[in-house]
Amino acid sequence: MSFAVADLRPPFERPPSRVAIRPAVNYQADLANVLFETLREFALPVRGKTVLLKPNFVEHDPEFVINTHPAVVAAARESFLRLGAKTVLVAEGPANERDTEAILESIRLREFLGPLGRIFVDLNADGVELVPTRTRASKLKELYLPRSILLADFVVSMPKMKTHHWAGVTLSLKNMFGIVPGSCYGWPKNALHWAGLTRSILDINSTVRPDFAIVDGIVGMEGNGPIQGIPKPCGVLVLGDDPVAVDGTCARIMGLVPERIDYLSHAGLLLGHLQPAKILQLGETIETVRIPFAVTETFRDLQA
Amino acid sequence: MSVACPNGELVPASNSSGFAGRVCRPFLLNSQNSDGGWGFHPDCDNAVEPTCWALAALSSYANTNRDSSHEESVRRGLKWLCDAQLADGSWPAVPAQRVGCWITSAACLTLDAGGYAPHQVARGLQWLCDFWPAEGTAWWRLASKFRRKSSLVRQDASLRGWSWTQGAASWVEPTSAALLALNRSPAQSRRIAGAARRQSLGERMLYDRMCPGGGWNSGNPHVYGVAGVPRIGPTAWALLALRQYRARSENQMSLQWLQDSYGHIRGPLSLSLAHTCLTAYGKVMLPVGPALEAMYSTNQFLGSVASVAWAIMAVQTTPQSVAILFGPSGPSPMIQAANSDASADRPPR
């Protein structure tokens, strides 16, 4: 894959990335404390800033098996506020459902976050700006992007750890599909698929590279993800300052070879580090938490 | 119980028509931008979709309540909508876009329901008939045989409906909206070459994409051998678009699914659409106002202009009001003419 824009740094110019793996047995654990203590280790520049959390809320999910668990989102919000953030927004643009509020109510987000009016941003219906993509991996060339994303000082991708029947896995990079507004691209955002699904992931992330990633791996999903797979308890939260390194680490935890995942291997060329030697691992080791995920037939070759 | 107005004022809850009049109507009037259009939220830049639904809702309110006090607001909105049409007859999602998309259907519906700008509606319908989705061509079908993921979904790609945006595949909701727009204006549609064929293909595509057991999702009834789960919005849209075939078993199954799901709906847009659809099919429904008002009191519909507009239409919906927006539900004379050997209650197969 060729990139026409050299504005992104190749791995040899990047400092090592940091990724923390934290155990969390279930969603009743003291997640706010786990996240706060870990985020403090990263010394993130969020004081006085607007932080935007981008969870993966894609489906009606009363059993909490598809979406990022609202307890993790609430814990992250509380942690960033404790770290001095001026505002912490939660924003998502569901790909298949036009009634975003129906999804939020199905996962009882209000019970975890309080009144949503001033906290939640529906990215499918936000004001938009036309932005040229910083890479030319897909046919997109430019993207309509929500103003809330463009105005945020610090964007945090917060996916659930899942397999994906089109892309192999969906983690912090694929999760950024949700920032693209349905108002301009539809429900689903099918124009991105036609522009090249995995390549669109690269263009979106090169244009709005998340500043941080927090992966909900407490209960993931294996098999026919991202919606119809099987819950996979893993008991981990994975956090890091490089979404490529975080996704690579998650893939390794899932028993997959990240270099064989098309978009992730290319992301490792310009967007972040994929090589273990360039990732400073904090907390648990991959080996101690590794738990192989089942994948669909077409992605058997991704398994280690 | 009290509900919050967009300006933060708390007002006591009242009956359903009161909710439309005291909360929803002021919300729409207060959130209209100075140039006449509406954004997806108050203080947001204009977009075509919320403008269409706001205009449809205010017109519905005026018809039902014989209240023309917001006539000037509607007039300014219609002018903005007409001005937003592109040279090729289509409408973009937002004015900054220079290419048309599915929202052309909503613009045609809105203008035609009010009897406005027939020439612009005709150009919009012509564009819709010329706007083909990207899948299903002979070349595409040949190439798809060699794609490893082509076998993951099970559907007939030769049945081409309408896509959300240019250069993408057919989906249930934009196909439904286009069918509704074309059916809304039979006289105009009849003058467009190929319109009957597009309608026939679109209707067959919808039936092909129905989920096993009834209902529709965005358009994937089977993925990886797993049956797709229907959703409220696409089901309501598809049933509205296919209501001239109401006796068909697929319609009845889907209607039953929608009725069974009705009590579990958690979002205002879904609830309003479902209520409108069930009313269009002659189902006797309890007033939806209290449920919508309760939802409004929790999240204020997340400030969504479209949700507020559809709430007005749902609260006041009757079979007659559905007919005003979507046209009469009788068999399409054009389809009948195109398929004279088919029964009126069955689209061509």
Picking from A60-64, A204-208, B6-10, B62-66, which range would have the lowest pLDDT averaged per residue? B6-10
**Whole-number pLDDT of residue B324:** 87
The rounded percent of chain B whose pLDDT value lies above 90 is 71
Q: Could you tell me if A118 lies within 8 Å of chain B, comparing CB atoms?
A: no
Give the chain A residue whose CA is nearest to the CA of B226: A228
Residue A153 pLDDT > 50: yes
Q: Could you tell me if A103 lies within 8 Å of chain B, comparing CB atoms?
A: yes
Q: Identify all chain A residues contacting B265, using CB atoms and an 8 Å cutoff.
A: 102
Cβ burial of A184 (10 Å; 0-12, 13-18, 19+) is: buried
A2 located within any domain:
no
Residue B340 pLDDT > 90: no
Q: Identify all chain A residues contacting B49, using CB atoms and an 8 Å cutoff.
A: 183
The predicted-structure confidence for A185-204, as pLDDT tens digits, reads as follows 999 999 999 999 889 999 99
Q: Identify all chain B residues contacting A184, using CB atoms and an 8 Å cutoff.
A: 93-94, 97, 165
Token pair recorded at residue A179: 């920032």
The predicted-structure confidence for B149-205, as pLDDT tens digits, reads as follows 555 666 788 899 999 999 999 999 999 999 999 999 888 888 999 999 999 999 999
Mean pLDDT value across residues A206-221: 97
* CATH code of the domain in which A163 resides: 3.40.50
**Total number of domains in chain A:** 1
- pLDDT bin (cut points 50, 70, 90) of residue A27 is very high
- The range of the structural domain enclosing residue A125 comes to 11-302
Cβ of A166 within 8 Å of Cβ of B47? The answer is no
In angstroms, the Cα distances linking A37 to A113, B173, B174 are 20, 46, 47
A136 located within any domain:
yes
**Whole-number pLDDT of residue A232:** 98
- DSSP conformation class of B243: G
A272 located within any domain:
yes
Residue B139 pLDDT > 80: no
Residue in B94, B226, B295 closest to A228 by CB: B226
Mean pLDDT value across residues B230-241: 98
Residue B335 pLDDT > 80: no
Give the chain B residue whose CA is nearest to the CA of A123: B40
- pLDDT bin (cut points 50, 70, 90) of residue A2 is very low
The residues in A 122-141 lying below 8 A from B, measured between CB atoms, are 122, 125-128, 130
Residue in A101, A188, A224 closest to B226 by CB: A224
Q: Identify all chain B residues contacting A185, using CB atoms and an 8 Å cutoff.
A: 164-165
Q: Could you tell me if A196 lies within 8 Å of chain B, comparing CB atoms?
A: no
Q: Identify all chain A residues contacting B226, using CB atoms and an 8 Å cutoff.
A: 224, 228
* Average pLDDT over all residues of chain B: 88
A277 located within any domain:
yes
Give the chain A residue whose CA is nearest to the CA of B147: A298
Rg, Å, chain B Cα set: 20
To the nearest whole angstrom, how far is the Cα of A52 from the nearest Cα of chain B? 17
Residue B44 pLDDT > 90: yes
Residue B11 pLDDT > 50: no
Residue in A106, A186, A228 closest to B165 by CB: A186
Cβ burial of A107 (10 Å; 0-12, 13-18, 19+) is: buried
Q: Beta strand B10-12 with B2-4: parallel, antiparallel or unpaired?
A: antiparallel
- pLDDT bin (cut points 50, 70, 90) of residue B148 is low
**Whole-number pLDDT of residue A188:** 94
To the nearest whole angstrom, how far is the Cα of A224 from the nearest Cα of chain B? 7
**Whole-number pLDDT of residue B158:** 84
Q: Could you tell me if A230 lies within 8 Å of chain B, comparing CB atoms?
A: no
Cβ of B269 within 8 Å of Cβ of A105? The answer is no
> Which of A15, A76, A83 minimizes the C-alpha distance to A47?
A83
ipTM entry: 0.93
**Whole-number pLDDT of residue B344:** 38
Output B158 or A285, whichever has higher pLDDT.
A285
Mean pLDDT value across residues A46-57: 98
Cβ of B265 within 8 Å of Cβ of A102? The answer is yes
Residue B23 pLDDT > 60: yes
Q: Identify all chain A residues contacting B155, using CB atoms and an 8 Å cutoff.
A: none
Q: Identify all chain A residues contacting B297, using CB atoms and an 8 Å cutoff.
A: none
Mean pLDDT value across residues A95-115: 96
Q: Identify all chain A residues contacting B173, using CB atoms and an 8 Å cutoff.
A: 98, 187
**Whole-number pLDDT of residue B3:** 40
A3 located within any domain:
no
Q: Could you tell me if A120 lies within 8 Å of chain B, comparing CB atoms?
A: yes
A4 located within any domain:
no
To the nearest whole angstrom, how far is the Cα of B213 from the nearest Cα of chain A? 17
A224 located within any domain:
yes
- pLDDT bin (cut points 50, 70, 90) of residue B146 is low
> Rounded distance, CA B133 to CA B137, Å?
9
Q: Identify all chain B residues contacting A105, using CB atoms and an 8 Å cutoff.
A: 266-267, 299
The predicted-structure confidence for A218-263, as pLDDT tens digits, reads as follows 999 999 999 999 999 999 999 999 999 999 999 999 999 999 999 9
> Rounded distance, CA A169 to CA A251, Å?
8
The residues in A 134-173 lying below 8 A from B, measured between CB atoms, are 144, 165-166
For chain B, list the domains and their CATH numbers.
2-141+150-338 (1.50.10.20)
The rounded percent of chain A whose pLDDT value lies above 70 is 98
A173 located within any domain:
yes
